[in-house]
Amino acid sequence: MPDIAWPRLIYDDDQLVGFVMAAFAPGHENPLFHCYLWRLNVGAEHQGKGYGRFAVEEVCQESMRRGHRRLTVSYHEGQHGPEVFYQRLGFRPTGEHNHGEAVAERSLAPDLQEP
């Protein structure tokens, strides 16, 4: 899966603070996975310091570099879930669900439509 998975560790100087992984599978039967924020984990003691935002923006940059126009993510809904975090970063709920998780997407090129 190295041609699909894009894993990255998030460091602050020499301290590991988190992990992000995207999936790029443009030919996948489920469009959700064409350009997908697969995992984002930031250590509890490092949350609220901008590391998650940084990681998501890096995924967006890589997505655009690969020619994608939208990025999708899925997450568990609920009071302590990441929905508000993703909304602040420009993700909008699609109304779809994937294996019980809400799906949201972010346009990477607002003036263009996804093919």
Residue 37: give its domain's CATH number.
3.40.630.30
Record the pTM.
0.88
32 in any annotated domain: yes
Residue 88 belongs to what H/E stretch? helix 83-88
42 three-class SS:
strand
**Cβ-contact 82, 91 below 8 angstroms:** no
**Does residue 56 lie in a domain region?**
yes
Query: Does residue 115 lie in a domain region?
Result: no
* Position 47 in a domain: yes
Supply the range of the domain harboring residue 21: 5-107
Which residues, listed in sequence order, are joined to residue 51 by a DSSP beta bridge?
none
Number of domains in the chain: 1
Kindly give the confidence (pLDDT) of every residue in the chain, 115 residues in length, as a single tens digit, with 9 standing for 90 and above: 557 999 999 999 999 999 999 999 988 888 888 999 999 999 999 999 999 999 999 999 999 999 999 999 999 998 889 999 999 999 999 999 999 999 999 999 755 544 4
